[in-house]
């Protein structure tokens, strides 16, 4: 499974319905599982970003499809980063001359 970290900010719509954010997060977890994506953690933040989600996906296509589905709801805008475990980083570094 590939790991992704997504930093989110609420849109205007998301801020207007902020009281529903925890319910939406639970719904997103259920929807993710239907897409083959597992949301490991959702955390609400102080500072530049409003939320961070750590997800696992079998491939980039499933991760992107889920992300597009989530963003189409209009409550969030996000930036997704591919994250690497120590084992994955070791494999990457083994290929560096």
Which DSSP letter does residue 95 get?
T
What is the structure's pLDDT at 23? Answer: 96
Angle at which helix 21-34 crosses helix 60-72, to 10 degrees, equals 140
Cα–Cα distance between 35 and 63 in angstroms, integer?
8
The residue length of the chain stands at: 97
Q: Which domains does the chain have, with CATH numbers?
A: 2-94 (3.30.70.920)
Cα–Cα distance between 63 and 52 in angstroms, integer?
15
First to last CA, the chain: 26
What is the structure's pLDDT at 81? Answer: 95
- Gyration radius of the chain's alpha carbons: 15
What is the structure's pLDDT at 52? Answer: 98
What is the structure's pLDDT at 43? Answer: 98
What is the structure's pLDDT at 18? Answer: 96
pLDDT in tens, the chain (97 residues): 999 999 999 999 999 999 999 999 999 999 999 889 999 999 999 999 999 999 999 999 999 999 999 999 999 999 999 999 999 999 999 999 9
């Amino acid at each position: 499974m590939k790991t992704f970290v997504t930093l989110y900010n609420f849109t205007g719509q998301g801020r207007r319905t902020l009281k529903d954010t925890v319910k939406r997060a639970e719904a997103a977890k259920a929807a993710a599982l239907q897409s083959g994506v597992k949301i490991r953690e959702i955390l609400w933040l102080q500072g530049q970003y409003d939320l961070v989600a750590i997800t696992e996906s079998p491939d980039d296509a499933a991760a992107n499809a889920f992300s597009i589905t989530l963003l189409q709801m209009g409550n969030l805008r996000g930036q997704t980063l591919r994250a690497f475990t120590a084992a994955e980083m070791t494999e990457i570094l083994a290929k560096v001359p």
